[in-house]
Structures are given as structure tokens and as C-alpha cells.
Amino acid sequence: MNLLDIDSLTLELPNGTRLLDGISITVAKGETVGLVGESGSGKSLTARSVLGLLPERATMGGQVLLEGEDSLRVSQQRLSELRRHSASMVFQDPRAGINPMRTVGEHLTETLRLCEHLPAEQARQRGIEMLKAVRLPRPEQHLKQYPHEFSGGMLQRVMIAGALISSPKLLICDEPTTALDVTTQAEIIAVLTEQAKSRGMGMLFITHDLNLAASLCDRVYVMSQGRVVEQGSAQGVFSAPQAEYTRKLVAATPTVAVDPAAEVAAARPVAVAATADRAGALRARAVSKTYTIRGQAPVRAVQDVSLEVSKGAALGVVGESGSGKSTLARIVVGLESADAGEILIAGKERTKAPRRRAERLAHARSAQMVFQDPYLSLDPRITAGHAIEDALKLHSKLSTLDSRNRVLELLDQVGMTGKHAQARPRTLSGGQRQCVAIARALAIEPDLLVMDEATSALDVSVQAQVLDVVAEIRRERGLTVLFISHDLAVVRRVCEETVVMRHGEIVEHGRTLELLGNPQHPYTRLLLDSVPRPAWNREVAVQSAT
């Protein structure tokens, strides 16, 4: 008998929308099964249905056998027991998933105390044991701490400890590392696999990251629009995808692996254009920024950073959270002032954050930013066309008719049509929204476009589309881009040159391919090693090394 046996599961909302359509998935004891797909594919919903966490008033069909018991049909009482002993779940965002008003100890031990009626001391011991198992440094002390005192990675360990505390047979992980830095992700994955192995647990691992799934899973299921479109061994599915959708997904997934032959083949017209004009579009010299918060040690967000981007080039800035890359971006676009140093954009002094209206307009023409989350950076009440038109009107004296035409041109450039001009952000997809944000930034014809994690919130296939749009515009107009990202693979697709930041400093700087192929700084190497790679490629690499 399989540990988990989902058989033709369907889920329908009262309005008739079918979110899951005939899902069949099995997980055996000790096996790690991946569930991959983009947002809206139903992978989270499938995982949640195992634990009976269903949307209100949803109609279910099929069955979900957890150790032979149908979790869709058992009593509430029995369902609670299944949730404690049979299957447990690690959620995506530990910051949201752990009650901020209760201590870590309460989070860990409440089911033991309230449901299993364990004495407080015994429950505490179990909590300490679990925190040790997930490698947190000071278990006794952690039990009394509140979630806000932990970093994201530590908190995710707490979440895992909480999931494992009543020894489940199946661990469901729903994007457990998506909110984390790549080096932290590697640590968390190590903890998860170690625990799964030592306990002989089955693991259902949900992720949008094909590389991660490939590095971790024995078998994978690929989901799209509520259906399983492909399944098989991880190696089989990813190296020889059969379904159209899987092929698209694999093609859209960026990778850090450097294949010299392929790189030579891909001639780089953009790089050629870049050399045409040596006058730097962006020149930053010894820029520093320190935040002082009363009663706390000063945070040196950016320290002595110098960089140069020539006109038409793209520079990637890579780093983990807290590395100062976003602060640098904010200084460049004039949202913050640098404490020291100098910034020149297209030869113009842009060091200080603008104060007066004229300064603001001038700075805006120098540099425009595309923000991470298009859901937040566009006003939900203003149509896409209007948002772009507003930017145009602020900076030019175009007549209404001319600016309308210009809006259509801009939308066309980012691969959208005139009918999108009338659409409010709510009705656009995430990728379309980000394209509107790009079009708005381009409307001003800035000397420099700063993209701060501009594709991080998007699905891989959408990300690929947005990156294509950016590449297209760069080819056509010689746009200069400062591309901030935590994702080395994405930077590789966009940027000829890359700097790596850590603790506010640039630790390495070089041509992207050389940097990825032959990293010099230990931190760059750590970053690269932390990027998940397919298990079979790793073996190949090890063999070729020896």
C-alpha cells in the first residue's frame, strides 16, 4: 500500500470552476515526489487537500488515501489525528505561517500539550529535541523567543520542526524555500532531506523551480491548469520532456550551467552595440550608505561601491537579502541619498536624492525603476494606458492625442495591444502588469532603466517572456539596464557583466560568463554551489572532475 494515493481527485467551486481535474498521484514510503507547475496549476490545492484544508463550499470528487484512509471523508476528529500522525505540511512563508504573537515554544508544542495531553516538561523536551534536529543553535533559548527575533531561514527551520514534532509518515512541502535566499535554501533542503532519510518519511515536494525539483526528487508530476500533464522519473521528465507544456517549462527555466560551445554559438549583438559608445551611462564612485536606528548598531547597507555601465550595456547586481543591492538601486533612482560617493548618469551629477520638483523630474529622466511586485507598483484604479499617459504628460508637452498614440506605441513595444490600454491592473496577468510597468518606465525615455528583482514574482514562462521583451527593447533602442536580482541564472540571461554584492560591498566583478564559469571569490562560489542542479548532472560533474 502506498503512503499516499490520490485517485482522480477533482475540486469544484460553487460557481462551477473546476480547479482540480482528475489528479492521480502516489507517494511511497521513503520516496520524494515532486509536484511542479506554475501558479494557478493547482499544485498547492492538491497538497492541501491531503490534509483536508479545502476552500469553503468546494465540491470534491475522487479520493485521497492517506495510509489507506480517505482524508476527504473521515470525521473531523479522525482528520485531526491524521494531520498529527500521518501527514504534516511545511508552508511557503514561515513569517506568515507562524503566529507572531506566540513564542516558538508554543508553536512547537501546542498540539502535544492540547491534543496529546503531554505534560509541559515532556513537551518542552520534545521541542528542544526537534530544534536540535533542524540544527538551530540554542534550542532552550529559542523556545522562549518570538518569531520576529528570527531570520527567515531560522524560522523555516522552526516550521519544519513543528511539522515533524508528532512524527508524521508523510511530509508535504509547499514551496518551502521560495521565500529564502539561495544559500539558505541549500541549508533548508539539506535539513529536509536528512530528516526524510533518517525517518524513512515520504515527501511530497511542491515547487515552481524545476532545478530544485530535479536536484531533490525521485519522481515528478508536472501540473498545469488543474491537470497532471506529465509524470515519471525526475531525470526522464526533465531531460526528455514529452508534454508540450513541460517542454515549454524546461525551455523557459534559466540555468547557471555554463556550456562554452553554446555560448560561442549565441553571438551577442547587444554586447557589440555596447562598445559603440564608451561614455558611461552610469558611473558610481565609492558610494556608501549607512542607516542608523536609535538604540541599534548602524547598518552599513552600501559600502564604497563603485561600478560603471556603458551605454547600451546591462550590468547585473547579484546578492542575497541584506546585501545592499536594493539600497544601491534606490540611491541610483534618487529615492535615497548616498552618504558619500558620487553618481553620474549620462554624465550628469545624480548623487543626492532630488528635493524640488524640477530636480525630481530631471532625476526621473535620468533613471527609471521597475519594481519587484507589479501588483503593488501599479495603481489598481488606474488603467494601464492612463498610467503610462500620466508619466508621459509629466515629462513632455505632448497633446492628448499624441500621447495616446505614444502609449499605443509603448504598449506595442512591450508586446501588448491597444485593448490593454483600457484594462485595469486587476484584469491583467502578472507578466502583463510587469510589461505595463516597463512601458511606463520607458515612456520617459530614461538614460538608465533599473530593474529591481523585476521578474522574481513571476512564473518562469512569464519571466522568460518579460526578459525577451527587455532583450528586444535593448536590441532596438540600446537601452542601458541595471539589473538587480538574487537569481544568478536570470542575470546570466540578461547581463554581459555582473557584480556580486555581500554585506553592502562588491566582492566580485566580471563578465557574467567568466564569473559563473570560473568564480574567484569564495562567496560567489558559495552562491553558485547553492543553486540547485539536477541530481544526474551533479553525478556527471563529479565523474568528470575525478
Could you list the residues that contact another protein (CB under 8 A)?
Answer: 51, 53, 76, 80-85, 88-89, 91, 93, 95-102, 110-111, 114-115, 145-146, 148-153, 159, 162-163, 166, 181, 184, 295-297, 299, 320-322, 503
Burial state string for 328-363 with b = 16 or more CB within 10 A and e = fewer than 16: bbbbbbbebebeebebbbbeeebbebbeeeeeeeeb
Report in angstroms how near the CB of residue 110 gets to another protein at its nearest.
6
Please state, in angstroms and rounded to a whole number, the distance separating the CA atoms of residues 338 and 290. 8
**Could you tell me the smallest distance in angstroms from the CB atom of residue 95 to another protein?**
7
Contact 383, 438 (CB under 8 A): no
Q: How far is the CB of 12 from another protein (least distance, A)?
A: 19
Q: Residue 27's closest CA among 4, 50, 1?
A: 4
Q: What is the DSSP letter of 92?
A: S
Q: Do 367 and 334 form a contact (C-beta atoms < 8 A)? A: yes
C-alpha to C-alpha distances, 340 to 163, 326, 352, 386, nearest whole angstrom: 47, 17, 10, 38
Strand partners, 499: 317, 509
Angstrom distance (rounded) from CA 431 to CA 458: 7
Nearest-approach distance from CB 98 to another protein, in angstroms: 6
| Torsions phi, psi for 378 (to 5 deg) | -110, 140
Q: Of 322 and 510, which has the nearer Cβ to another protein? A: 322
Q: Between residues 54 and 398, which has the closer beta carbon with respect to another protein?
A: 54
Query: Closer CB to another protein, residue 89 or residue 274?
Result: 89
353 DSSP assignment: P
Q: Which is nearer to another protein, 51 or 451 (CB)?
A: 51
Distance CA 7, CA 37 (A): 19
Q: Quick one: 91 or 221, whose CB is closer to another protein?
A: 91
- Interhelix angle for 152-164 vs 104-114, to 10°? 10
For the bound state, the minimum distance from the C-beta of residue 455 to another protein, rounded and expressed in Å, comes to 23
Sheet strands (E) in 212-279: 219-224, 227-233
Of 390 and 505, nearer to another protein (C-beta) is: 505
Contact assessment for residue 469 and residue 438, using Cβ atoms and an 8 Å cutoff: yes
Structure-block grid coordinates of residue 528 = 553558485
Q: Which residue, chain included where needed, has cell 542607516?
A: 291
Nearest distance in Å: CB 303, another protein: 13
Rounded least distance, CB 369 to another protein, Å: 22
99 or 275, CB closer to another protein?
A: 99
**Is 61 or 322 the residue whose CB approaches another protein more closely?**
322
**Contacts of 265 by beta carbon, 8 Å cutoff, 6+ apart:** none
CB of 478 to another protein, least distance (A): 38
Least distance from another protein to the Cβ atom of residue 257, Å: 27
C-alpha cell at 541: 560533474
**Residue 111 or 455: which CB sits closer to another protein?**
111
Between 82 and 411, CB nearer to another protein: 82
Any alpha helices (H) in 91-233, and if so which ranges? Answer: 94-97, 104-114, 120-133, 139-143, 152-164, 182-199, 210-216
| Closest approach of another protein to the CB of residue 107, in Å | 8
